[in-house]
């Protein structure tokens, strides 16, 4: 998947400066008694929803929430899990929902600091990462310092170190990096490649590889709507560009027919499917919209296992044509 994230450094810089302006002067660490009393989920929610705050909640030097270090957490919680692909005899490796949640929270912490013009003072280490029993993610022994200017190099370094931390955690949890699903692999490559601009941070933090499984259906429908309906009305050139770049051109219909569960959707349909990108989307939409007919709660997981790159490419293309932010995807990560 040729990722060409090289659009407009100038625009990226502008965004970063605007978002960060209010909070540049605040000090990071220093937890106070009041914030120790608040409940962890509330803190996490606050970090997610508030763009201009101090971010002090991300750094927790006390044990008040019963945090455990990420290494010991990983040793007991496999992050890469193997699931059966419904309708086939195959199995597929995917990240657990907890693993994607931890990945996203860490990326989000970095982004929130970057928006405030702050960067890690030292490379992020696994020992800085702490996990709460309710799924919260905090940093300890890490600090962020303000710089008088926005530095894309510092931003890239922070994510590069995050990718190393995530790989080490997955390995520690017993996962084999060679088994990573392609979308999560692409996410790690994006972090590690260091060629993105500030404008791409939204895309990184809201990468579909980090979605909880139960929300992938909604996100598919949102992105589908943006591409097929909205762009179909307002900008056909963009719609065409996205469709042309969808994966699985040659074999998606064979894959669908070979899967006993998905094939039910192929044979039942009134307008027969043709081997076109738009019909790949149509099939995926129809199967999701008629999930109850499939007697399966796992149909979303099945679609993911069969076409693990589809949602990723839809998102990547929407990002490249400047249509991702308006989809509302950032609310679907929990």
Ligand X SMILES: *[C@@H]1O[C@H](CO)[C@@H](O)[C@H](O)[C@H]1NC(C)=O
Binding site for ligand X (CB under 6 A): 26, 53-54, 212, 214-215, 331-334
In this complex, which beta carbon is closest to ligand X, that of residue 46 or of residue 68?
46
Contact 325, 202 (CB under 8 A): yes
Q: How far is the CB of 247 from ligand X (least distance, A)?
A: 25
Largest CA distance in the chain: 64
Q: How far is the CB of 208 from ligand X (least distance, A)?
A: 13
In this complex, which beta carbon is closest to ligand X, that of residue 132 or of residue 265?
132
DSSP string, 168-207: HHHHHTT--GGG--HHHHHHHHHHHH----GGGHHHHHT-
Q: How far is the CB of 214 from ligand X (least distance, A)?
A: 5
In this complex, which beta carbon is closest to ligand X, that of residue 23 or of residue 253?
23
In this complex, which beta carbon is closest to ligand X, that of residue 37 or of residue 233?
37
16 burial (CB, 10 Å; 0-12 / 13-18 / 19+) is: buried
Give me the helices (H) in 89-248, please.
97-115, 152-172, 182-193, 201-205, 216-224, 231-234, 236-244
262 burial (CB, 10 Å; 0-12 / 13-18 / 19+) is: buried
In this complex, which beta carbon is closest to ligand X, that of residue 42 or of residue 189?
42
């Amino acid at each position: 998947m040729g990722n060409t994230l090289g659009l407009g450094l100038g625009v990226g810089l502008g965004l970063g400066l605007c978002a960060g302006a209010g909070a540049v002067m605040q000090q990071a660490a220093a937890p106070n008694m009041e914030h120790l009393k608040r409940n962890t989920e509330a803190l996490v929610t606050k970090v997610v929803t508030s763009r201009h705050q101090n971010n002090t909640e991300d750094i927790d030097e006390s044990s008040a929430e019963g945090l455990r270090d990420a290494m010991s957490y990983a040793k007991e919680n496999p992050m890469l899990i193997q699931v059966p692909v419904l309708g086939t005899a195959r199995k597929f490796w995917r990240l657990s929902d907890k693993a994607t949640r931890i990945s996203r929270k860490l990326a989000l912490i970095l982004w929130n600091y970057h928006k405030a013009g702050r960067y890690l003072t030292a490379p992020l280490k696994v020992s800085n990462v702490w996990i709460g029993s309710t799924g919260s993610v905090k940093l300890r022994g890490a600090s962020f310092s303000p710089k008088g200017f926005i530095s894309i190099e510092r931003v890239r370094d922070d994510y590069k170190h995050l990718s190393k931390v995530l790989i080490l955690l997955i390995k520690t949890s017993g996962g084999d990096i060679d088994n990573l699903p392609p979308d999560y692999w692409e996410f790690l490559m994006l972090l590690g490649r260091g060629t993105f601009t500030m404008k791409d941070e939204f895309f990184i933090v809201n990468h579909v590889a980090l979605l909880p499984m139960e929300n992938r259906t909604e996100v598919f429908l949102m992105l589908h709507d943006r591409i097929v309906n909205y762009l179909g009305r307002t900008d056909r050139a963009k719609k065409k560009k996205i469709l042309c770049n969808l994966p699985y051109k040659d074999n998606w219909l064979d894959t669908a027919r070979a899967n006993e569960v998905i094939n039910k959707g192929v044979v039942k349909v009134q307008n027969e499917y043709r081997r076109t990108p738009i019909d790949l989307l149509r099939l995926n939409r129809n199967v999701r919209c008629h999930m109850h007919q499939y007697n399966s709660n796992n149909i979303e997981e099945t679609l993911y296992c069969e076409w693990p790159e589809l949602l990723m490419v839809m998102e990547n293309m929407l990002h490249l044509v400047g249509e991702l932010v308006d989809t509302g995807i950032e609310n679907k990560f929990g």
